Amino acid sequence: MNPLARPDPKQQTLLHQLPAKLKGFSYLGANCCVVVVVDADDTPCVEFLAQLKGMLEQLPRKPQRVLFRLAIEETESWFIADDHAIRSAFPNAKTQPLRAIPPDAVVGAWEMLADALRIRRKDVTGADKFVWAVQIVPHLNLDQPRSPSLRKLIQGIDHELHRNVAP
């Protein structure tokens, strides 16, 4: 990805549009922080974060504060690590098999969640995943999340909120 190139209109994903979006947020002052959360999928975390930070450094204009965080495999990994949140949102979910999965394991998290919700994988749409997020997120344990990547996101946001920034 060339951060200096004009965005390809055929590529509408956030990752492809990210350099342009970050340049667009360059007007934000030091009291603002842009938080970018990206699914790591199966990309090694250290490598992916280095690519994101390298892209940011190449931008001629950028926000003063940017926090990059990765959802290890994908955001659904955060959900399957918290079976209580799933059961709170979907009382009929079959969460027992999820308890054996180590937090942030690359296991096909959305597929595992579909199985727990008794939805055929081939029938799952982006709209379904959105509904899952809307229903499950309010029940996530954000004080002591089992998912290390969710914990890092929360800690990063907490750090940014409490960071002393001169007016």
pLDDT number for residue 14: 75
Q: Which amino acid is at 87?
A: R
Domain span holding position 139: 75-147
The pTM of the full predicted model, rounded to 2 decimals, is 0.87
Q: Indicate the angle between helix axes 14-24 and 45-58, nearest 10 degrees.
A: 40
What is the tens place of the pLDDT at every residue in 90-149? 999 999 999 999 999 999 999 999 999 999 999 999 999 999 999 999 999 999 999 999
Q: Are residues 111 and 50 in the same domain?
A: no
Q: Are residues 50 and 100 in the same domain?
A: no
Tokens of 114: 């579909």
pLDDT number for residue 59: 95
Decide if 40 is inside a domain.
yes
Instruction: Look at the chain and report how many structural domains it folds into.
Output: 2
Q: Are residues 37 and 65 in the same domain?
A: yes
Decide if 113 is inside a domain.
yes
